[in-house]
Amino acid sequence: MSKTLRTPAGGSVNRVKTIKFSFDGKTYQGLEGDTLASALLANGIRVMGRSFKYHRARGVLGAGSEEPNALVAVRRDKARIAPNLRATQVELYDGLVAESQNRWPSLNFDVGAVLSLLSPFIPAGFYYKTFMWPKSAWDKLYEPNIRAAAGLGHAPTEADPDSYLNRFAHCEVLIIGAGPAGLAAALAASEGGERVILVDEQCELGGSLLSATDAVIDGQSGRAWRDAVVAKLAANPKVTLMTRANAFGYFAHNMIGVAERLSEHQASPAKGAPRERLWQIRAREVVLATGAIERPLVFPDNDRPGIILADSARTYLNRYGVLPGKRVVVATGHDEAYRAALDLHKAGVTIAAIADARPNPKGPLVEAARAAGLPIKTGYAITGTKGTLGVAEARLSPILGAGRVGPPEIVACDSVLMSGGFTPSVHLFSQSRGKVVWDETLETYLPGASAEAERSAGACRGQFGLAKALADGFAAGSDAARLTVKRDFVVQATEGDPKGVVGALPHDRGNGAKAFIDWQNDVTTKDLKLAVREGFQSIEHIKRYTTTGMATDQGKTSNLNALGVISDALDRPIPQIGLTTFRMPYTPVTFGVLAGMARGDLFDPVRTTPIHDWAVEQGAVFEDVSLWKRARFFPQGREDMEAAVRRECLAVRSHCGIFDASTLGKIEVVGPDAAEFMNRFYINAWTKLGVGKCRYGIVCREDGFVTDDGVVGRMSQDRFHVTTTTGGAPRVLAMMEDYLQTEWPDLDVWLTSTTEQFAVIALQGPKARDILSGLVEGIDLSPEALAHMSLVEGKICGVPTRLFRVSFTGELGFEINVPSQHGRKVWEAIWAAGQPHGLVPYGTETMHVLRAEKGFIIVGQETDGTATPDDVGLTWAVGKAKPDYVGKRSLARPAMAAPDRKQLVGLLTKDPHIVLEEGAQVVLTPGQKAPMALVGHVTSSYHSAVLGRSIALAMVSGGRARIGETVYIPMPGSDIAVDVTSPVFYDPEGVRVNG
């Protein structure tokens, strides 16, 4: 074969601008305007990929997003490798580096191709049947090897350095597909002055007009008409045109996801230029003008490189100036292939034969081919091809009927064009939940009743031919824009019969022949027939068993033929078989464009406190608590966490510690009915809580289980300062709002989140009062004036404060609330004042140990959504005299008082050095074999520095009655003996809060 298949003229490629690129390490030249596929074809490169299962050599089949074979990886550098791109959609740029996939060591010599010889042993469902046993071999042997052999492309090993954008857009009319129907729809829709968006997956608008040769619209060539329409639309400020935009998903309520390629096609994108953009377009009305995809013919050896779809061959010729070969056999069951044959004939290609499976094709295209003297064989099926890494001859057999064929003729050729007709692209319609209906005349599925405000137009709803597409598109655009505009397009184009053939052609090649249905997943007619023989009836089951239509191309070229073959095998008409649901994405999209900006630091919002920077400067180690960054510990020198926590704990107990509690959730509950609201919402009683006093509050859900806790201070008769857990603040506020708005709208109460408004500095330890005393104004810190669980308003360091005397450590403690903007200043002042007193900063880890030493629970650690207040020892908090509160009725259920409920207890290991694993189970007797009789689990476990031993909290069935007993923690190798104790390990009398 000649090295170049480029025509001397024609097409819309730029003949004077050559482009260098490489494919599998070899350098080639293409032209500006080429795709990778057209440039490779022009260079005589046939093999562009290896198939998924059998590793068969494959050439390009189509010319657009339907391409199942020519999947390549495009590499810019180590971090920029995009796998599984369709070479038909990769726009050529100078220096483009592309590599084929699924082959080793090379595309033309692939060791994996031996699988093709083994194919009689790899039928449909092979994996399910073969790798069943032994079960243990699946993880280690079968799955890794299957994945290595069957992988489709490789992900880059480095982080993606590019940026991706995300935008929302709104419009009255969104038109998807900019072929003749889409352009006509845009013309009509834009006449009303409303916002119109027209998106198309290609780099240019125009669809089939980009490769039309003889069509004349309103006196202009198809291409010239397209140029004029695009110019008119572009000049309209209300119209947005988007190219390289893959409308991949149709979401509820007319939200369309569109992935737009921004710099993928550029030789050297500007530094920092975004690579892709995700559009979420909300449209009042949608026009689907998604066209139709040509169906391959199903015949033995139909996957040999050089066999391509007829209309794609026309595209290569008319748009890119590339010939599929020099001597071509056309196999068809549809008139459009004659148009391709005529165009190629005019370009000087020898048409060796046209084998038409139909007995008596007629119509203007067939007549034109006859008039041009092309050798037409009617009633002929192609029954095979031969050639090494390409096609060298075609086998043509007369169809005798009843599935039989006569003696074949061998025709030499270097390419085969095929066409079974066109399948309307109903993918997006199906995604929108619209139901497709079978059209008996066209023998295809068409859009039925709409589920969303959308309509299909043109070929995607079976309106084939240029004149029909334009008229249908214009009417759809007018309708979508709620206009009544009319326009008659004067079209001169030769149109054929829209009906084609579905399913497999007859052949005499026996059982060994491979007639492919699904190129990408290597599914043949044999696989489908086998599935039916094995008893599969439902198309959904056959699809999953054989994987037909399940590849990244979503069965664009294969679905209807698969139905045809299954219909024959089941002897049931296609509409009784149904159609599988089309899944998004229409064409694969990158993870990058879906992630957009949500990566790295922007993956999730990060919340930091006003004291955060100070902690960073002190070398704190942070942990994530919901969205917050919290200082976990403050290592000194080379301390590890254990050493730092031990030192911090002892410092708090002996001197004083300072702790950033700003992340505590805070809600201001205000209004004449504030106390009544609190009474109804919390389990505690609030009416008698005096102004200036605090109380530890507990929230249950209506089912009686603890959901949050926190100290609540009464600022005035009608104002409560509520605190919640760090992670629970939004949930508690939402729950409060729910009851206030929907159950108790009679209450006059306002709720305001003040979490971010206050910085909270916890000062805990015997020296706390001494440190604070020089900093406050108008505040009496004496125990008489400010007792434990009380609060006062005044000033500290010159700024207003709500100063609480509370303790989550068991020590004398204060929590100083100041406006956030003053948080760091006040913190630093306290820090300076504390230096003579041995003040240390401590983090959340020390906070956890100190509270565990006191048996204070953490909601979500001791509780798990199934613990009642009594389970965690908080019965004392319940306002028993209250007639009602959230959860009260559920707590009255007998089961809530069952003696075997899990209850909070302490555990002390017999060996004080052993620190239990949190989450470990509790059993009553040692030496049990699984399944053991589990009676509880460890919820918190630490080394306590002040006690010089380990401590643990646990939820144990009937736990309080077991205090004093020995129970066991089963661990690999041994059972750890522990004593059940009170959960309060340190200062059980509670004298230390008094300083």
Partner 1 sequence: MLLITCPHCGPRPELEFTHGGEAHIARPENPAAMNAEDWTEYLYMRANPKGLHAERWRHLHGCARFFNALRDTTTDQFVATYATGQPRPDLKGAGQ
Instruction: Between 249 and 906, name the residue whose CB sits nearer to partner 1.
Output: 249
Which of 743, 780, 828, 911 binds partner 1 (CB under 8 A)? It is: 743
Contact yes or no for 68/315 (Cβ under 8 A):
no
Q: Is 738 in the site for partner 1 (CB under 8 A)?
A: yes
Closest contact distance (angstroms) between CB of 282 and partner 1 is 7
DSSP structure string for 941-963: EEEETTTTEEEEEEEEETGGGGT
Q: Is 868 in the site for partner 1 (CB under 8 A)?
A: no
> Of residues 415-434, which lie at the interface with partner 1 (CB under 8 A)?
433
> Of residues 715-734, which lie at the interface with partner 1 (CB under 8 A)?
734
Which of 737, 780, 911, 917 binds partner 1 (CB under 8 A)? It is: 737
The site that binds partner 1 (CB under 8 A) totals a number of residues, namely 27
Closest contact distance (angstroms) between CB of 169 and partner 1 is 12
Which of 251, 489, 622, 696 binds partner 1 (CB under 8 A)? It is: 251
Residue 67 CA, distance from chain mean position: 24
Closest contact distance (angstroms) between CB of 724 and partner 1 is 17
Q: Which amino acid is at 880?
A: K
> Of residues 276-295, which lie at the interface with partner 1 (CB under 8 A)?
280, 282
Instruction: Between 598 and 933, name the residue whose CB sits nearer to partner 1.
Output: 598
Q: Is 540 in the site for partner 1 (CB under 8 A)?
A: no
List, in sequence order, the alpha helices (H) in 854-985: 888-891
Closest contact distance (angstroms) between CB of 255 and partner 1 is 5
From 251-259, 784-792, 810-818, 845-853, give the range in contact with partner 1 by CB under 8 A. Answer: 251-259
Helix, strand, coil percentages (3-state) for the chain, rounded to 5, are 25, 30, 45
For 413, phi then psi, to 5°, come to: -165, 165
Write the interaction track for partner 1 spanning residues 256-275; mark x where CB under 8 A is met and - where it is not. Answer: --------------------
- C-alpha 168/C-alpha 157 separation (Å) is 31
Q: Is 153 left (phi over 0), alpha (psi -120 to 50) or beta?
A: left
Q: Is 254 in the site for partner 1 (CB under 8 A)?
A: yes
Instruction: Between 489 and 739, name the residue whose CB sits nearer to partner 1.
Output: 739
Q: Is 741 in the site for partner 1 (CB under 8 A)?
A: yes
Instruction: Between 26 and 253, name the residue whose CB sits nearer to partner 1.
Output: 253
- Sign of the dihedral through C-alpha 875, 881, 886, 887: positive
Residue 920 CA, distance from chain mean position: 35
From 25-33, 175-183, 246-254, 831-839, give the range in contact with partner 1 by CB under 8 A. Answer: 246-254
From 46-54, 195-203, 252-260, 629-637, give the range in contact with partner 1 by CB under 8 A. Answer: 252-260
Closest contact distance (angstroms) between CB of 435 and partner 1 is 12
From 101-109, 439-447, 739-747, 926-934, give the range in contact with partner 1 by CB under 8 A. Answer: 739-747
Q: List the one residue out of 218, 263, 417, 422 whose CA is nearest residue 334.
A: 422
> Of residues 882-911, which lie at the interface with partner 1 (CB under 8 A)?
883-884, 888-890, 892-893
- C-alpha 702/C-alpha 725 separation (Å) is 19
Write the interaction track for partner 1 spanning residues 449-488; mark x where CB under 8 A is met and - where it is not. Answer: --x-------------------------------------
Instruction: Between 33 and 887, name the residue whose CB sits nearer to partner 1.
Output: 887
Closest contact distance (angstroms) between CB of 705 and partner 1 is 12
Instruction: Between 250 and 464, name the residue whose CB sits nearer to partner 1.
Output: 250
Instruction: Between 56 and 888, name the residue whose CB sits nearer to partner 1.
Output: 888
CB contact set of 364 (below 8 Å; sequence gap of 6+): 494, 495, 496
Q: Give how far Cα 562 sits from Cα of 524, 545, 547, 556, 566, Å.
A: 9, 13, 11, 11, 6
Q: Which amino acid is at 690?
A: G
Instruction: Between 429 and 634, name the residue whose CB sits nearer to partner 1.
Output: 429
- C-alpha 331/C-alpha 339 separation (Å) is 13
> What is the CB-side half-sphere exposure of residue 379 using CA atoms within 13 A?
10
> Of residues 135-174, which lie at the interface with partner 1 (CB under 8 A)?
168
Contact yes or no for 400/379 (Cβ under 8 A):
no
For 432, phi then psi, to 5°, come to: -75, 5
Closest contact distance (angstroms) between CB of 857 and partner 1 is 25
- C-alpha 690/C-alpha 714 separation (Å) is 7
Write the interaction track for partner 1 spanning residues 646-685; mark x where CB under 8 A is met and - where it is not. Answer: ----------------------------------------
Which of 253, 271, 880, 929 binds partner 1 (CB under 8 A)? It is: 253
From 125-133, 199-207, 663-671, 735-743, give the range in contact with partner 1 by CB under 8 A. Answer: 735-743
Q: List the one residue out of 752, 736, 773, 763 whose CA is nearest residue 817.
A: 763
Q: Give how far Cα 897 sits from Cα of 596, 867, 871, 957, Å.
A: 51, 11, 9, 12
Radius of gyration for the chain, computed over Cα atoms and rounded to the nearest angstrom = 38
Q: Give how far Cα 925 sits from Cα of 433, 884, 934, 955, Å.
A: 58, 42, 10, 17
Reduced to 3 states (helix: H, G, I; strand: E, B; else coil), residue 967 is: strand
Q: Give how far Cα 91 sits from Cα of 83, 94, 125, 756, Å.
A: 15, 10, 37, 50
> Of residues 302-321, which lie at the interface with partner 1 (CB under 8 A)?
none
Q: Is 880 in the site for partner 1 (CB under 8 A)?
A: no
Instruction: Between 875 and 925, name the residue whose CB sits nearer to partner 1.
Output: 875
Closest contact distance (angstroms) between CB of 894 and partner 1 is 9
Q: List the one residue out of 629, 633, 372, 329 whose CA is nearest residue 494.
A: 372
Closest contact distance (angstroms) between CB of 451 and partner 1 is 6
To the nearest 10°, report the CA torsion of 653, 654, 656, 661. -10
Instruction: Between 126 and 739, name the residue whose CB sits nearer to partner 1.
Output: 739
For residue 346, what is the enclosing H or E element? helix 336-346
Closest contact distance (angstroms) between CB of 153 and partner 1 is 30
Q: What angle do CA 560, 247, 483 make, to 5 degrees?
A: 100
Closest contact distance (angstroms) between CB of 744 and partner 1 is 9
Instruction: Between 439 and 703, name the residue whose CB sits nearer to partner 1.
Output: 703
From 127-135, 527-535, 716-724, 738-746, give the range in contact with partner 1 by CB under 8 A. Answer: 738-746
Q: List the one residue out of 692, 704, 623 whose CA is nearest residue 660.
A: 623
Which of 639, 703, 918, 979 binds partner 1 (CB under 8 A)? It is: 703
Which of 203, 255, 715, 963 binds partner 1 (CB under 8 A)? It is: 255
CB contact set of 617 (below 8 Å; sequence gap of 6+): none
Binding site for partner 1 (CB under 8 A): 168, 251-255, 280, 282, 433, 451, 702-703, 734, 737-739, 741-743, 745, 883-884, 888-890, 892-893
